[in-house]
Amino acid sequence: MTIQAEISLYTLGARTQSPAINDLYNILNKHELEIEPGRMSSIISGDSDILFPALQEAFETAAENSQIVMTLKISNACPLPD
């Protein structure tokens, strides 16, 4: 099933969010998911069998490096990117 997720990742107490965001994008790209980056969140599109394990890997990687908050909205009804 093709789904979309809107994801935001915040590292608590960090001076910059860039390393955690870069790691997130690298993991999602490794899984060949479509990513639409935004200023406050990104839209990720792909097959649910790929997207869910990729999100788990991204969360666990970020959580190993710092305290984090990751917010997600997941849908099978949103329009997919062109």
State residue 9's pLDDT score.
94
pLDDT, one tens digit per residue, over 6-52 is: 999 999 987 877 888 899 999 999 999 999 999 999 999 999 999 99
Sequence-distant (≥ 6) Cβ neighbours of residue 51 within 8 angstroms: 3, 5, 31, 33, 44, 45
pTM of the model: 0.85
Cβ count within 10 A of residue 58 = 23
22 Cβ partners below 8 Å, 6+ apart?
none
Q: What local confidence, expressed as pLDDT, does residue 13 receive?
A: 83
Q: What does the domain layout of the chain look like in residue ranges?
A: 2-75
pLDDT higher than threshold 70 for residue 82? no
Rounded-to-integer distance, Cα 7 and Cα 52, Å: 12
């999100």: which residue's tokens? Answer: 55
Report pLDDT for 65: 86
Domain 2-75 has CATH 3.30.70.930: yes
